[in-house]
Amino acid sequence: MPPAIRAFDRLADQYDALCAGDIMTMMRRRTHERMARRFPPGSRILEIGCGTGLDTGFLASMGAHVVAADPSARMLDRTRARLRATNNMAHLIRCGAEELDQHLGPATFEGIVSNFGALNCVEDLGQVASLARDRLVPGGWVMLGLLTRTCAWEIARGLLRGRPREAFRRLGVRPMIDLDGIEVPAYYHRVGDVLAVFGASFVVGRAEGLGVFVPPSRCEDRWRRLPSAVRRAACRTEASLGPWFPFNRLGDYVFLELHRDSRRSGAGRA
> pLDDT band for position 147 (50/70/90)?
very high
**202-210 and 65-70: which strand pairing?**
unpaired
Does residue 208 contact residue 30 with C-beta atoms inside 8 Å? yes
* pLDDT in the model for residue 262: 66
Computed over every residue of the chain, the mean pLDDT equals 94
159: in domain:
yes
268: in domain:
no
230: in domain:
yes
191: in domain:
yes
* pLDDT in the model for residue 46: 98
Does residue 164 contact residue 100 with C-beta atoms inside 8 Å? no
Model pLDDT for residues 100-111, shown as the tens digit of each residue = 999 999 999 999
Q: How far apart are CA 129 and CA 138, in angstroms?
A: 14
Mean pLDDT in residue range 53-63: 98
CATH of the domain at 95: 3.40.50.150
Structural domain count, the chain: 1
Domain range for residue 166? 3-260
266: in domain:
no
Mean pLDDT in residue range 56-65: 98
Please determine, for residue 267, whether its predicted confidence score (pLDDT) is greater than 70.
Answer: no
The pTM of the full predicted model, rounded to 2 decimals, is 0.94
